[in-house]
Copies of this chain bind each other. A is one copy, B any other.
Amino acid sequence: MSSSNASASSKPLRVAVVGATGAVGREMVKVLHDRNFPVAELGLFASERSAGKVQETPYGALTLKAFDAAVVKGYDVVLLAVSGDFAKAHAKDLASAGALVIDNSSAFRYDADIPLIVPEINAHVFREAYAAGSRLIANPNCTTAIAVVALGPLHKAFGIKRAIVSTYQATSGAGAEGMAELEEQTRNQLDGKPVTNSVFRHPIPFNLIPQIDAFQENGYTKEEMKVTWETRKIMEVPDLPLSCTAVRIPTYRAHSEAITLETIQPVTPDAARAVLADAAGVKVVDDPANGAYPMPLNATGQYDVEVGRIRNNIVFGDHGLDLFVCGDQLLKGAALNAVQIAELAL
């Protein structure tokens, strides 16, 4: 099922995108336009370095402005595609001025009083907080957002007792520079030239890197723990035993995840498929005999998260379900989800 678009009849709003030149910022602008978000005025904010430059957008060529908190406070909706440090410095100030601030960084995701929202799963949390005056909302980690659109409905239907996730993450998770490094260095390798790396810790062409973000005390990376912490918060299961191994692979912008579940209720593949077929934001792609299963090749540029390879698993039997999901890291993993949150306020 596709996500529904915003009503064009809503009162137009002044929308600011901060970090507008980055991979996520650019997608935010495209998604606002594509979903007919009621935009009265669009402000694109970036660093001093980019200020004055013109950026092509679906709204026409727009001039980038240097971020100025006093100016951005005047907007109704502020989408932050910035670093955690920048968000920490400005997000609360902007929100207290009345703007609805949706932050794509991890700065506030784990604060108990700040909602972390995937609209298909916990829109009610947004609505309650918004009605009570909350104006700062956290947008989740890309891997988490892509997983929970499938895990949420499965949890509601069957109960998830444990989950094990192995990821196949695209270079876009490191921004436009990550994708550029993949392309340039792959070309170098094919041409027999030296292969270097600056965005990633190791060369990425024809390789994989089982590290995303910094290592924690417990041997997991922060990226892996984000999937645990954020899935628990979004699905409102504070102690869900969920383990993740996060791996960067040489793909551009769609993340895939192999997920093994132990369920509380018995589950069949057909029952799981029926639940997922009705789930918002999910597209069941599960006709293996005809070679149909989730792949970056097809999920790239799509709003829906593809889910397939659905089967009872050998380890947990009729209380076990395996699935493979694939979603666009820049869309459901970032820009789309942020715009969907803004739509909840319309």
- The residues of B that contact A211 with a CB separation of less than 8 Å are 288, 291, 293
Q: How far is the CB of A118 from chain B (nearest CB, A)?
A: 21
Cβ-neighbour of A203 out of B182, B187, B247, B297 (below 8 A)? B297
Q: Does A131 contact B (CB under 8 A)?
A: no
Q: Does A126 contact B (CB under 8 A)?
A: no
Contact A247 B164 (CB under 8 A): no
Contact B168 A289 (CB under 8 A): no
Q: Does A152 contact B (CB under 8 A)?
A: no
- The residues of B that contact A322 with a CB separation of less than 8 Å are 219, 243, 245
Q: How far is the CB of A189 from chain B (nearest CB, A)?
A: 9
- The residues of B that contact A314 with a CB separation of less than 8 Å are 218, 220, 228, 241-243
> Interface extent on A, as a size class?
35 or more
Would you give the 0/1 interface string for A223-257, flagging 1 where the beta carbon is closer than 8 Å to chain B? 00000100000000000011101010111100010
Known: A190-B187, A219-B269, A260-B243. A249 touches B168 (CB 8 A): yes
Comparing A57-65, A76-84, A305-313, the segment that makes contact with chain B is: A305-313
Once the chains are docked, how many angstroms separate the CA of A251 from the CA of B249?
9
How many copies the complex holds: the figure is: 2
- The residues of B that contact A243 with a CB separation of less than 8 Å are 260, 313-315, 320, 322
Contact B315 A207 (CB under 8 A): no
Would you give the 0/1 interface string for A151-183, flagging 1 where the beta carbon is closer than 8 Å to chain B? 000000000001110101000000000000011
- The residues of B that contact A315 with a CB separation of less than 8 Å are 162-164, 241-243
Identify whether the interface residues of A are mostly helix, strand, loop, or mixed. mixed
Q: Does A296 contact B (CB under 8 A)?
A: yes
Once the chains are docked, how many angstroms separate the CA of A250 from the CA of B131?
48
Contact B218 A297 (CB under 8 A): no
Contact B312 A219 (CB under 8 A): yes
Once the chains are docked, how many angstroms separate the CA of A162 from the CA of B164?
12
* A266-304 residues at the B interface, CB under 8 angstroms: 269, 288-289, 291, 293-297
Give chain A's interface residues, CB within 8 Å of chain B: 162-164, 166, 168, 182-183, 186-187, 190, 201-203, 206-211, 215, 218-220, 228, 241-243, 245, 247, 249-252, 256, 258, 260, 269, 288-289, 291, 293-297, 308-316, 320, 322, 324
